Amino acid sequence: MAPLSRAGRPGAGMWPWLAWAVVLVAADQFTKSLILQHYQLGDATYLTSFFNIVRAHNTGAAFSFLSDAGGWQRWLFTGIGVAATVFIVWQLRSHPGQKLFGFALSSILGGAVGNVVDRLMHGYVVDFLDFHAAGWHFPAFNLADSAITIGAACLILDELLRMRRER
């Protein structure tokens, strides 16, 4: 049986977390649409000595892993994103009152859905944040990737705090 939330309905406490994920997807898709409207592939705008806005397409996963695999990876990463979405929603429904855990999972959810939308619409993920120093460039990324990274860091922090409380 699903846990009852404060509202008395199973899973009702997960709605704020799902709303946060929707906000992240909307912000991610909005920024990507701006890039697609105003930049051609490879175009860049120099902003500071360490940061550019650039239009890049990633057909692979993080750091362009499998980007040259021939196209099948689009469906693999879309499937992984859909499976992660189902798992995360189940976890949010099961643990709605755990704030850091909920924030972490909903951030990962928003980022995953944002990138799945790109894969389905374009066949690639639109990246545009380009950090660099002394000729070295960190692989370009986007808001969805940032949400996933922040969510993963918060998930690790949540687990460390949980382990500390159990001692």
Amino acid at site 121: M
Distance CA 51, CA 64 (A): 19
Question: Pick from 95, 93, 85, 88: which is nearest to 162 by CA?
Answer: 95
Choose, from 28, 118, 130, 145, the residue flagged as catalytic. 145
Amino acid at site 166: E
* Token couple for 32: 């990507």
Quick check: is 127 catalytic?
A: yes
Amino acid at site 136: W
Choose, from 28, 118, 127, 158, the residue flagged as catalytic. 127
* Token couple for 139: 């692989």
Quick check: is 145 catalytic?
A: yes
Name, in order, each residue with C-beta under 8 angstroms of 50's C-beta and a sequence gap of 6 or more.
131, 132, 133
Question: Pick from 11, 1, 43, 27: which is nearest to 142 by CA?
Answer: 27
Residue 153, strand partner residues: none
Active site residue ranges: 127, 145
